[in-house]
Amino acid sequence: MGGNKLTNLAAGSSSSDAVTFSQLATLSPAGSIVMYGGASAPSGWLLCDGSAVSRAGYASLFAIVGTTFGVGDGATTFNLPDLRQRFPLGKAASGTGSTLGGTGGSIDHTHGMQNHTHSIASHTHTMKNHTHTINAHDHTMQAHTHTV
């Protein structure tokens, strides 16, 4: 846009319209967790690494998550979720099966399966009469002898 700032923009309503800041913000509201493969967070984002961040500096995020993931210093900071070596899991609609902000399990484990058998009942496959055709051909063998 050549460095010009658009002001008093009406809300976009079609795919070719410009959008307002508030429309754009609804795409990733504060508290959104997005899978990201980089080693450092993009501008304006934070990594879910359990670190303590400023309650005032991230007021909109603090309003959403509060101290769910840790109280920080108890006054001016709060903790981000720590998803290092973890997988995000949504809370069940019933409210059971997971504790928001909880951790558990182990990184390395073995799934055990006891010996078992799958039984298949006796059965027959019936095929209609058919023929396998082989083109005429020769087998050539070198001279040889058989000894008894």
What does the pLDDT profile of the chain (148 residues) look like in tens digits?
Answer: 467 777 777 787 888 888 887 777 778 888 988 888 888 899 889 999 999 999 999 999 999 999 999 999 999 999 999 988 887 777 677 766 666 666 666 777 777 888 888 888 888 888 888 888 888 888 777 777 777 6
Alpha helices in 9-136, H assignment, sequence order = 21-25, 59-65
For residue 15, being part of any structural domain is answered with no
- Whole domain around residue 79: which residue ranges? 31-88
CATH of the domain at 70: 3.90.1340.10
Distance CA 27, CA 44 (A): 14
For residue 39, being part of any structural domain is answered with yes
For residue 68, being part of any structural domain is answered with yes
Which residues face 49 on adjacent strands? 82
For residue 67, being part of any structural domain is answered with yes
Distance CA 138, CA 109 (A): 60
What total of structural domains would you count in the chain? 1
